Structure 1
Amino acid sequence: MAHIEKLSHPYLDLKRAIEAQVIRKVARDKWNVFRFGEDAPLSDMAIFPAASEVTQSLAGKSIVTRRRRQISGKVLGGSWDKERRDLVGNTKLESCRMRWVDGADWEETPQFQSMARKIAEGEQPDDCRSLADLRSRYARLDIIFAEARHRGRLLRMSELPDYRYRREHGATLIHVGHDGACLRHGGGAHRFAIAKILDLPEIPAQLGAIHPQAIRDGHLARLRVSRFDS
């Protein structure tokens, strides 16, 4: 039977656990295992789509686009996955291409400029309170990109030295549609951009919502296998 993680998982911060809705997710996991057995999707579980197969994002408004990471592992029928848009023109992805492919300075990219405006207006995008914070954040992204290019893969969240969440929470969020399509919407945009630009053979991603048809047709079983597992 699929492993159900207990609430004693070492979250360092109760506030984080509440925000991530861990109690609700544990209940969801138990219900999923009851319905699907050992093939059940679990909240915050890792899936490993190839970068080349993620070409669209969810469009329109639904419970999935509203709740994002909170909906991780939820089996959701219906038509929520049918309204899609191509990823071409995505601001974060195109800004990363400008930097890592074209060699532009971060300050020239629309994403950096948008965040700088927010800081000037008193906001704290991605916990950046100043332009110095923002430049430091993007310098760290340059390091992650260089390491991923050298390594040929992105590290999983559990491989990061300061990681304090459960499973693959915090990674690129990927939802799985009825046809097995891997659909973007939610967090982890820069990690996703790194994977796309380097055309990595897999993206260690956090499962979002999944359509029951994708489980029945074996798409989840395929996506949960990492090419780098020995």
Structure 2
Amino acid sequence: MKPDPSHSPLRRLQRAMEAHVYRKTLRDLVNRLRHGARAPLSDMAIYPRPRDVTHALVAPKGGQRLRRQHSGLVLGGAWDRNRIAVENDIKLASCRMRWVEGADWAETPIYRRQLEEIAQGRAPDDCRSREDMDRRFAMLDRVFAETKARGRMLDMEELPEFHYRRAHGATLIHVGRDGACLRGGGGAHRFAIAHILDLPEMPAQLGVVHPDAIRDGHLERLGRSSLRRDPAGAAQASPSA
């Protein structure tokens, strides 16, 4: 059997560089020194209630967009004031059309937009053809049905084909000063599934966190899951590491 190239030392190094793991490791150390036991971990899992996530974070004009590479960054200031309502998100609206109203994917605005992007030579969601899109949307239908039957969203560590480090790859959520959970980029369809099903919580990847949210215990609260259980059967009381 040939070795899996994705597990080669070179690929692991490449993946670590792409995820900014070395910078994040240093960030974790600095956070621990500054904030003690309440310090955030880069790529840690948090568990917000999906319908409590009412806004998405946007970059100020001319400002930097906060991405996965900034996970665990403690950032003061007014960055968490720059937000828009998630109800305006094209993917959430399209998923609602499909799974609530019963529309075909081809009738949704996200389908039409991605077709246009492919025609322009782009690859939205790694799709390079209409056939790729149809396969991806069929997969989303399966994930929606499975999640509905299960009653919860799987953590990234329960998805070995996607899992890399802690909650990296899950819906990116930034935490504002008052504990408000603000959607970042990535994981839009996972968020839409959890939101439409009105799940009690969803696993998310921590983005940037305001220091007031640490001080006032909001991050600690979000790091606890009411659904996950450890191997001994006790409810999980701390973020996944």
Equivalent pairs: percent with the same residue?
Answer: 59
- Secondary structure at the aligned position of 1:81 is classed as helix
What's the counterpart of residue 111 of structure 1? 110
Query: 2:65 corresponds to which letter in structure 1?
Result: R
User: Where do residues 1-20 of structure 1 align in structure 2 (5 Å cutoff)?
Assistant: 13-20=12-19
Secondary structure at 2:122's aligned position in 1? Answer: coil
Q: Using the alignment, how far apart are the partners of 2:45 and 2:184 within structure 1?
A: 16
Could you tell me how far apart the structure 2 residues matched to 1:184 and 1:40 are? 21
Hey, what does 1:140 align to over in structure 2? 139
Residue of structure 2 equivalent to 1:166:
165
The residue aligned with 1:188 is: 187
Return closer, same or farther for 1:123/1:104 CA change in 2, 3 Å cut-off: same
Residues 1:224 and 2:223 are matched in the alignment: yes
User: Aligned equivalents of 2:70 and 2:126: distance in 1?
Assistant: 23
Structure 2 counterpart of 1:151: 150
User: Which blocks of at least 5 consecutive residues in structure 1 are unaligned?
Assistant: 1-9
Match of 1:211 in 2: 210
Which deviations, in whole Å up to 9, do the C-alpha atoms of 1:132-167 show, x marking residues without a partner? 111111111111100110011100000013134100
Equivalent residue of 1:13, what SS?
helix
Compared CA separation, residues 216 and 64, structure 1 to 2 (3 A): farther
Q: Which residue of 1 aligns with 2:4?
A: none
Q: Determine if the alignment matches structure 1 residue 73 to structure 2 residue 69.
A: no
| Cα distance, 1:15 vs structure 2 | 2.0
Q: CA deviation at 1:27?
A: 0.4
Secondary structure of 2:23's partner?
Answer: helix
Equivalent residues of 2:27, 2:73 under 8 A apart: yes
Question: Residues 56 and 86 of structure 2 are in contact (CA less than 8 Å); yes or no, is this contact kept in structure 1?
Answer: yes
SS in 2 for 1:220: helix
CA drift of 1:29 comes to: 0.4
Q: Distance in 2 between matches of 1:11 and 1:73?
A: 26
Assess, with a 3 A threshold, how the Cα gap between structure 1 residues 31 and 83 changes in structure 2: closer, same or farther. same
Q: CA RMSD in A?
A: 1.7
- What amino acid is aligned across from residue 79 of structure 2 in structure 1? W
Equivalent residues, number: 221
SS in 2 for 1:132: helix
Structure 1 runs (4+) greater than 6 angstroms displaced: none
- 2:16 pairs with 1:28: no
- Change in 2 beyond 3 A, CA 1:63/1:210: farther
Unaligned runs of 5+ in 2: 1-8, 229-234, 236-241
Q: Spell out, residue by residue over 1:98-152, the C-alpha distance to the aligned partner (whole angstroms, 9 max, x if none).
A: 0000111111111111111111121111111111111111111111100110011
Is the 1:11–1:165 Cα contact (8 Å) retained in structure 2? Answer: no
Instruction: Check conservation: 2:49, 2:199, Cα contact below 8 A.
Output: yes
Amino acid at match of 1:45: M
The alignment partner of 2:103 has SS state of coil
Give the structure 1 partner of residue 6 of structure 2: none
Aligned amino acid, residue 128 of structure 2: R
Which residue in 1 is equivalent to 2:89? Answer: 90
CA distance in 1, matches of 2:166, 2:88: 31
Deviations 1:38-88 (A, max 9, x none): 211010000000112111111342798624101100000000001222112
Query: Aligned residue for 2:3?
Result: none
- Map of 1:57 onto structure 2: 56
